[in-house]
Amino acid sequence: MKICVIGAGYVGLVSGSCFADLGNFVWCVDKDKQKIDMLNNNQIPIFEPGLKDLINKNYSSGRLKFTTNLNLAVKNSDIIFICVGTPTSNKKGSADLRYVYKVVAELSLYINKFKIIVTKSTVPVTTGDKIEKIILKKKRKKLFEVVSNPEFLREGEAIRDFRFPDRIVIGANSKIATKKLKSLYDPLIKKGAIFFSTNRRGAELIKYASNAFLATKISFMNEISNLCEKTGVNVEDVSIGIGLDKRIGSRFLRVGPAYGGSCFPKDTKALTFTGTLFKTDLSIIKSVIKSNEKRRIFLTERVKKILSNKIKNKKITFLGVTFKPNTDDMRQSSSLLMIPYLHERGAKINYYDPSGEKKEFSRLKNVFFCNDINEACEKVDLVIIHTEWDEFKSLDFKKLYRKRKFKIYDMRNLYSPRDMKKQGFSYHSIGRQN
């Protein structure tokens, strides 16, 4: 099939290159000319494992093309996926849909025959209805169908999540569109993916409810870990013990510094805003948002305690600053709160992250990017393991220690308190007896 993907971001680039890899012809469009030029020069603007090879393979086969020309791409496609950003607007946390509506208004000019317009971006319930109204100003109803096909891609594992999804959700108010999308996804369905179709608003709500539930699971476990610390229980035992119940499931019960990323924080807020709009109090999700925000502050202040309330002039190293491993994405990462907080209180901060230096810290005069772990951990008072990149999972602390005995604050519980204590390290972690 001939496909147009609008928005060459984390979602659009992965979706576009994966659709091309399924044998379709894909135009990937973005308004950012610099980004398109990079892609046409074999450079990838984001850090996503496997994406470079996937793009190269399909670009050289001629199945994947990058352009800023929306007119050309829409006219030469049957299915148009909208993958532009839907960030949180400052107005009470609702989703900012201006990019979606702008793209829709423009693409409707170029509809020259029947098209299926698909929202893959996370959009609030009823957005499809509004998109339909915008297009109807320019085109007759029989020339298009608007469909919801939300993405469930995790950054760092997005290609695998596309290729082996638990389910493909299609929300359409027409059988033709559902049939067309089902044949597009046929190669994945043949490999076991479950195809689930509902109406358009149903699919829009499934996406938000999914992310909000996952965020709830994480926040629930994070709060239980606070109780574990007070009651002398190992939070990992609790997460295994409850996760063995098939009704709960063992995934997304890992404690950490607070969930971040471009989705959970944005989507939980947007869902509560939808609740308000439809006069429905989503009190559980509101408390998840509050609990997660409180956790960021609570765990940041723990640094003060670990350093016996003396932060000024202390040398602190962050191992990992991204919101999760295998991505360069800093959106809503807890390091964005922790590092400025410690910097304001006079700490000198090194950080090392495998995805490279971060512009977010460039204006902080006592925050330095280090090119490797040894350099970052030299003569410091405290090492904070913030993001669970693989290379932090088997550190040789004795070797890193050589110049000065530093304390360790393991925010991802990568090491065992017992072993660390046996080796004489001053080790702090989450939800366990340190």
Enumerate binding residues for ligand UDX (CB under 6 A).
Answer: 6-12, 30-32, 35, 83-86, 99, 102-103, 121-122, 151-155, 211, 214, 218, 252-254, 256, 259-264, 323-324
Nearer to ligand UDX, 334 or 425 (CB): 334
Q: Which residue is nearest to ligand UDX (CB)?
A: 9
- Taking the least distance from each CB to ligand UDX, the nearer of 224 and 426 is 224
Q: Closer CB to ligand UDX, residue 176 or residue 244?
A: 244
Nearer to ligand UDX, 58 or 262 (CB): 262
CB of 252 to ligand UDX, least distance (A): 4
Strand partners, 195: 168
Smallest gap from Cβ 283 to ligand UDX, in A, equals 22
Quote the least distance from Cβ 401 to ligand UDX, whole Å. 27
Q: Which residue has the tokens 């148009």?
A: 80
Taking the least distance from each CB to ligand UDX, the nearer of 158 and 380 is 158
Q: At a CB cut-off of 8 Å and minimum separation 6, what does 266 contact?
A: 86, 87, 88, 95, 122, 332
Give residue for tokens 């925000």: 293
Nearest to 408 by CA among 393, 397, 422, 418: 397
CB of 114 to ligand UDX, least distance (A): 24
Residue closer to ligand UDX (CB basis): 292 or 400: 292
Rg (CA), the chain: 23
Nearer to ligand UDX, 153 or 383 (CB): 153
228 is catalytic: no
Q: Which residue has tokens 């012809």?
A: 25
Nearest distance from C-beta of residue 214 to ligand UDX, angstroms: 6
CB of 35 to ligand UDX, least distance (A): 6
Q: Which residue is catalytic, options 18, 263, 370, 377? A: 263
CB of 135 to ligand UDX, least distance (A): 16
Look at residues 97, 122, 96, 92 and name the one whose alpha carbon lies nearest to residue 277.
92
Q: How far is the CB of 7 from ligand UDX (least distance, A)?
A: 3
Q: Which is nearer to ligand UDX, 262 or 300 (CB)?
A: 262
Phi/psi at 397 (5° precision): -60, -35
- Supply the residues annotated as catalytic: 263
